[in-house]
Chain A
Amino acid sequence: MTIQEKQQEVVEEFEMFEDWMQRYEYMIELGKSLPLIDEKYKIDENLIKGCQSKVWVHAELEGEKLAFTADSDAIITKGIVAILIRVFSNQHPAEIIEADTKFIDEIGLKEHLSPTRANGLVSMIKQLKMYAVAYQTQLN
């Protein structure tokens, strides 16, 4: 599946929910159920400094595709991280560089991507793209 298709899939999933509570409960579930990152990668170098919740990201090239693992100490942030990983992981770096994140608005989580929100997610997306740029250079 392409990034676009995966985003569409997430949007459709979220369309089933009737209110914010259901959306957040689902995200909390995603956050709880996904083992996201190997403990050995939860080091300061992989830490994205958001003001309030910590987010760690690790990237690895598998063939020509880039695989991400990540984690956060806050469960809602972790839920959103899980969605981002689902959409962006196992994709070609060039596609990750090109991808937009408008689907976050569409699933009603826009506030989490506001640059003024102190949760590290904006920096996390930047970081994913920076990894993609770095590995793209490597592939070339």
Chain B
Amino acid sequence: MSQQTQAKTFEVEEIRKDFPILKRKVNGYPLVYLDNAATGQTPKQVMDAIVDYYSNYNANIHRGVHALSQEATDKYEQARIKIQKHFNAEKAHEIIFTSGTTHGINLVANGFSSILKEGDEILVSAMEHHSNIVPWQMLCEKTGAKLKVIPMDLKGELVISKFEELLNSKTRLVFLNHVSNALGTVNPIKTIIDKAHSVDAAVLIDGAQAAPHIKADVQELDVDFYVVSGHKMCGPTGVGVLYGKEEWLEKLPPYQGGGEMIATVSFEKTTYAGLPHKFEAGTPNICGGIAFGAAIDYMNKIGFTEIAAYEQELLEYATKKLKEIDGMKIYGEAAEKTAVISFNIDGLHPYDLGTLMDKMGIAVRTGHHCAQPIMDFYKIPGTVRASFSFYNTFNEIDLFIEGVKKAKMMLQ
């Protein structure tokens, strides 16, 4: 199959028209945006939703009797339902709006501080983002629970047999990502969830990197908590959601106190509101939530099956081309991967490669990708990471490969 026919089936050029930023030039070159794992670009449809909100019905929600407040409340709650349907949550109040994945993880970790006790064990994978490590370390400090690590192998896959050995009756909680941000590995979360449940441990899945590529069904997965960020899936920054099973969300205490999250307040006693408001103190990111809903609509219109199939073609093509370069080392070669390639070239510092590629208009990420334990595992200071989205093209991959070759030539 030629590149052209592949791209044509997906109509990527039509899709690109929705993203004004892709027409930009950077340092005199056409922008090649390959830092999608850090943040995704925003289509016009989502920008329109933001402008519409501020132009037509900006108001505080849930308490006003006036028309604008009612409209804003309706739209915000409609967005919650869109997100509920997308992740196939059983109930809308199992969807808690957050400021993003990090907020969602901290909310759950904080809740567990009143549940865990000394001697309990919690398991984390070796390939987590710092945001899915640090809140749990803080939880261990508070409660005396012990943090244990599920190891990974050189290919960047978790060692499931070791996970089984670590699981025992003291295990209370398992948390890991659905997809690794630094390596692109898709973890076998269904297997992990089922095994964890066999010892009555709860499971939190960090879905930040999976959500732009994979439509997770929280009921089918039987996951206890699933957290995502809006900005990685065509939405704005500063908004995300925590999905939690109703029974768990009822059990966890509120994270922040304030307006919205209360039923009654007196100086003697305050009673908390029901779900989801118990976890949504203060005026939320109303516009962000609505725009997140618009982003989910946008991605579903293109179709997650189509997105995944096209991105896999991009991944295969880029991987093949990169491997033709002398001294290339790719980190993370799991059997199942999203469109992320982390690499180094023998003798070259990732920072130098990234700096020169930026001069050519190519946006990649360099460094440890907030996953230092992975870098320590491979004994490297960092990598160059190219991460693709459904609006990237085969032509952009060619430009990226040329950029890598040119940077390599200059540096060697």
Residues of A at under 8 Å CB distance from B? 20-21, 24-25, 28, 51-54, 73-77, 118-119
Within 8 A of A (CB), among B316-371: 348-352, 355-356, 359, 366-367
Judge whether A74 and B351 touch: CB under 8 Å: yes
Q: How far is the CA of A135 from the CA of B99 in the complex (A)?
A: 48
Judge whether A52 and B351 touch: CB under 8 Å: yes
Closest to B356 in A: A24
The answer, among A20, A24, A75, for a CB contact under 8 Å with B349, is: A75
Verify if B411 is at the interface (C-beta below 8 Å from A): yes
Verify if B382 is at the interface (C-beta below 8 Å from A): yes
Closest 6 CB pairs of A and B: A74-B349, A74-B351, A52-B351, A53-B351, A52-B367, A76-B352
Judge whether A20 and B355 touch: CB under 8 Å: no
Q: How far is the CA of A51 from the CA of B350 in the complex (A)?
A: 12
Verify if B395 is at the interface (C-beta below 8 Å from A): no
Judge whether A75 and B352 touch: CB under 8 Å: yes
Interface centre among B351, B366, B381, B382, by most chain A C-beta atoms within 10 angstroms, is B351
Q: How far is the CA of A73 from the CA of B352 in the complex (A)?
A: 10
Q: List 21 A-B contacts (CB under 8 A).
A: A20-B27, A20-B359, A21-B359, A21-B410, A24-B356, A24-B410, A28-B411, A51-B367, A52-B366, A52-B381, A52-B382, A53-B349, A53-B351, A54-B381, A73-B381, A74-B352, A75-B349, A76-B351, A77-B351, A77-B352, A118-B367
Q: How far is the CA of A52 from the CA of B381 in the complex (A)?
A: 8
Judge whether B359 and A24 touch: CB under 8 Å: yes
Q: Please indicate the chain B residues that have their CB under 8 angstroms from the CB of A20 in the complex.
A: 27, 359
A100 to chain B, nearest CB (A): 24
Q: Please indicate the chain B residues that have their CB under 8 angstroms from the CB of A28 in the complex.
A: 410-411
Q: Please indicate the chain A residues that have their CB under 8 angstroms from the CB of B411 in the complex.
A: 28, 75
Q: How far is the CA of A73 from the CA of B349 in the complex (A)?
A: 7
Judge whether A52 and B356 touch: CB under 8 Å: no
Within 8 A of A (CB), among B198-234: none
Once A24-B410, A28-B410, A73-B381 are accepted as A-B contacts, the answer to whether A52 and B27 lie under 8 Å apart by CB is: no
B212 to chain A, nearest CB (A): 25
A34 to chain B, nearest CB (A): 16
Q: Please indicate the chain B residues that have their CB under 8 angstroms from the CB of A54 in the complex.
A: 381
Q: Please indicate the chain B residues that have their CB under 8 angstroms from the CB of A52 in the complex.
A: 350-351, 366-367, 381-382
Given A21-B359, A75-B349, 14 more contacts at CB 8 Å? A24-B356, A24-B359, A24-B410, A25-B410, A28-B410, A51-B367, A52-B366, A52-B381, A53-B349, A74-B351, A76-B356, A77-B351, A77-B352, A118-B367
Judge whether B351 and A119 touch: CB under 8 Å: yes
Within 8 A of A (CB), among B104-126: none
Q: How far is the CA of A52 from the CA of B356 in the complex (A)?
A: 15
Interface centre among B349, B356, B359, by most chain A C-beta atoms within 10 angstroms, is B349
Judge whether B355 and A76 touch: CB under 8 Å: yes
A84 to chain B, nearest CB (A): 17
Q: Please indicate the chain A residues that have their CB under 8 angstroms from the CB of B366 in the complex.
A: 52
B337 to chain A, nearest CB (A): 24
Q: How far is the CA of A102 from the CA of B348 in the complex (A)?
A: 29
Q: Please indicate the chain A residues that have their CB under 8 angstroms from the CB of B410 in the complex.
A: 21, 24-25, 28
